[in-house]
């Protein structure tokens, strides 16, 4: 298991079982020392169980970002009830470390397998990670991201793309 995934699992298990937030490891791997946006996804029996992340870094390191977002994915994702201790053994984790988003001129610059997408209109913002099961076209990727942001399908918006390093 990759160290970032192990850290996500440890953070969730310690928080759900004991209400404590773990500290980053004493010895940080090179990717743990970086600063970047991070998404933590949790699945149970192949189905999404929680996913929370940050577009840009909000803490001092990827390690701290993983801990914070793993706990939030398990306990604060509004689409799901909080993870219970009896579920912990069934959970599968993945960690996506985001590149710096870059603005694109339009859909022709996107590829849902390679790039994640961020749509922005005023204060409304929606993000969709790349290479998601069932999201095979740019149109579908933009439709879902706009829906998450509360932006109408026909409304113009700024579009950004990013890549991820996915650890599972």
User: What ranges do the domains of the chain cover?
Assistant: 3-98, 102-163
Q: Are 39 and 22 in contact (CB under 8 A)?
A: no
pLDDT in tens, 94-117: 999 999 999 999 999 999 999 999
pLDDT at 117: 97
Residue 98 CA to residue 37 CA, distance in Å, equals 5
pLDDT at 133: 87
Low-confidence ranges of the chain (pLDDT < 50): none
CB neighbourhood size of 18 (10 A): 10
How many residues are listed for the chain in this entry? 168
CATH number of 102-163: 3.30.1490.150
pLDDT at 116: 96
pLDDT at 160: 97
Q: Are 52 and 40 in contact (CB under 8 A)?
A: yes
Q: At what angle do helices 3-18 and 62-75 cross, to 10 degrees?
A: 50
The answer to whether the 3-98 and 102-163 domains have the same CATH topology is no
CATH number of 3-98: 3.30.700.20
pTM metric for this prediction: 0.90
């Amino acid at each position: 298991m990759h160290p970032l995934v192990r850290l996500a699992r440890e953070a969730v298990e310690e928080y759900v079982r004991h209400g404590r937030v773990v500290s980053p490891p004493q010895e940080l791997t090179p990717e743990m020392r970086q600063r970047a946006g991070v998404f933590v996804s949790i699945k149970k029996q192949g189905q999404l169980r929680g996913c929370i992340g940050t577009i840009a870094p909000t803490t001092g390191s990827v390690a701290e970002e993983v801990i914070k977002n793993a706990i939030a994915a398990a306990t604060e994702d509004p689409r799901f009830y909080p993870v219970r201790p009896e579920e912990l053994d069934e959970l599968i984790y993945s960690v996506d470390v985001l590149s710096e988003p870059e603005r694109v001129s339009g859909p022709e610059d996107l590829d849902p397998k390679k790039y994640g997408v961020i749509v922005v209109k005023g204060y409304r913002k929606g993000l969709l990670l790349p290479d998601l099961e069932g999201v095979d076209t740019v149109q579908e990727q933009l439709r879902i991201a706009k829906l998450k942001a509360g932006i109408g399908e026909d409304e113009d918006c700024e579009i950004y793309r990013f890549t991820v390093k996915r650890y599972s």
